[in-house]
Each structure stands twice: as structure tokens, then as C-alpha cells.
Amino acid sequence: MDEDRARIEYEAAVYRRLRDHLRERTDVQNIDLMNLAGFCRNCLSNWYREAAEASGETMTKDEAREIVYGMPYEEWRALHQTEASAEQKSAFETSGKHG
């Protein structure tokens, strides 16, 4: 296998592992991810959609989110999203880390 192909396969495997980890860690809210790392599940879905569109594939925001969340976004929100605390909201506003 050539070096570029191997790198792409490794990067794809890392992405899938991150995606699956975030699917399992439903206790970690997107606002927590944004506050700590500057990205969240929605950012990943946006980046996925942008990559697909750069390759000529049309993809909706909802389709990309379902790939990342493993279910429709609204279903994930209903099952797992909690109201952000005042502290979380304040940290988000002052962090400047918005995907």
C-alpha cells in the first residue's frame, strides 16, 4: 500500500473511532466539547458535509448530522441533550472557540 493511501485509511479509522466514542459518550454535551476543545459533534458533521461537497456530493446538514450522531439530530437531542448551565453558557460566550 502506498504512503498516501495508508495515511488516508489511518485517518479514516481515527475519525470513525472518534465518531463512535462520541456516540457512546452521550453524557458529554456539545457545549462541554466546545468549551474545552473548540469543536463539537455539530462541527464534525459540518466538516463531513463540507468534505462531501468538495468532492461533488450534495449532502444536507441533517444527513451529515445523522452520520455523526448515529440517529436523526432531533432524536439525539430529545434523548441526550440537557439544558446548559449558566456557567457553561458563560464559558461558551467568553471562549471564542466556536468551531
Q: Which of 55, 63, 53, 70 is nearest to 18 (CA)?
A: 70
Query: What pLDDT was estimated at residue 1?
Result: 79
Close Cβ partners of 23 (under 8 Å, ≥ 6 residues apart): 69, 70
What is the reported pTM? 0.89
Interatomic CA distance for residues 99 and 78, integer angstroms? 23
For residue 74, pLDDT over 80 is answered with yes
18-73 pLDDT, tens digit each? 999 999 999 999 999 999 999 999 999 999 999 999 999 999 999 999 999 999 99
Residue 27 DSSP symbol: T
Identify the pLDDT of residue 95: 79
The domains of the chain, with CATH numbers, are: 3-95 (1.10.3340.10)
Average pLDDT of the residues in 64-91: 96
